[in-house]
Amino acid sequence: MLEMLERHMDEVTALVLFGIGFTTLLLNKNLFKKIIGFSMMDSGIYLFLASYGYIESRVAPIYEGGITDPRHYGNPLPAGLVLTGIVVGVSVTAIMLGLTVRLYRRYGTLDMDEIAELVRKEGK
């Protein structure tokens, strides 16, 4: 068990990060902390992907010095995916933060339950 954990350190860390982020996003009441949770969740997945692309004792996939043997290089594709994922994550975080600012200006709180209560009162 312990040996397996050690062998798959990256994946385990990634999944723990994902779990922490996911539960924060789901259960925390504070909007801002929810956004932090989202960032952690995404980082977990990026770590998962990046560790898949990294291969022990191989170099970064940059063509240099005329070595054409593919076994010399790591896998470039996951890095590309992570990069795309980061861009997506940043834009989603930005729009979520914008929404939070608008909600805070209106209701003066970041607590989702309190906002729900205020919205309900407003509707009546």
Sites of contact with other proteins (CB under 8 A): 18, 21-22, 25-26, 31, 34, 38, 41-42, 45, 48-49, 52, 78, 81, 84-85, 88, 91-92, 95-96, 99-100, 102-103, 106-107, 112, 115-116, 118-119, 122-123
Strand partners, 111: 30
Residue 75 near residue 53 (C-beta atoms within 8 A): yes
* Least gap, CB of 116 to other proteins (angstroms): 7
Q: List 28's β-bridge partners, or say none.
A: none
The two structure tokens encoding residue 95: 């729009």
Nearest distance from C-beta of residue 59 to other proteins, angstroms: 20
Cα distance between residue 110 and residue 117, in whole Å:
12
Report the nearest approach of other proteins to the CB of residue 71 (Å).
15
Using the minimum distance from each CB to other proteins, give the nearer residue, 9 or 119.
119
In 10 A of CB 101, how many CB atoms? 11
